[in-house]
Amino acid sequence: MPGVDQNSDARQLVRLLGIEGARAGLLQSKRMTVETLRKMAEPLKLNLPERTTRQQLIDELVKVASRRIDKSIDELFSMDKDALMDYFERVEVEPEELLDILKELNLSPRREGRRSLLEFAARELSETGRFMRIAGKSEKL
């Protein structure tokens, strides 16, 4: 297809545009046909059914291309907790990717991990709401 590099690097696209930017760009592009997207997905070893919709293909392509962890599960198992923490911070892993790995291993966060997530979400929502209420009151003055 003229004008489209069929060897386009999906990982580079996600690095440049971010997850949502890459998804929106691929979705809105007239040049990124299903055939072109499938070719773009080949280096990522995506094995999707022939009847996969364009939207599903883009979602999977961006999901896999945005992965930061480049080590195998066995390599991760061989690392101690501190080495794993350093690695996760260095590659700037996204929480969704960690949750995907845990799901793949049939693991779920312990009660305290779940509690920490709930506390974090509650704190962030509460603080944001408080700022919104303060801003709303100052606008009325």
> Is it the case that residue 27 has pLDDT exceeding 90?
yes
Express each pLDDT in 76-128 by its tens digit.
999 999 999 999 999 998 888 888 888 888 887 777 777 787 787 788 888 88
Q: Determine the structural domain holding residue 92 and report its residue range.
A: 68-108
Q: Are residues 103 and 114 in the same domain?
A: no
Q: Would the CA dihedral through 92, 115, 64, 8 be positive or negative?
A: negative
Flag whether the pTM goes above 0.85. no
The DSSP output letter for 69 is: -
More confident residue, 137 or 135: 135
In a domain, 1, yes or no: no
SS3 46: coil
> Is it the case that residue 71 has pLDDT exceeding 70?
yes
| Predicted pLDDT at 138 | 66
- The tokens for 71 are 């080590």
∠ CA 67-60-89, nearest 5°, is 15
Express each pLDDT in 35-69 by its tens digit.
999 999 999 988 889 899 999 999 999 999 999 99
Domain count, the chain: 3
Q: Are residues 49 and 82 in the same domain?
A: no
In a domain, 2, yes or no: no
Confidence category of residue 139, pLDDT binned at 50, 70, 90: low
Cα–Cα distance, 109 to 117 (Å, whole number)? 10
Q: Are residues 15 and 61 in the same domain?
A: yes
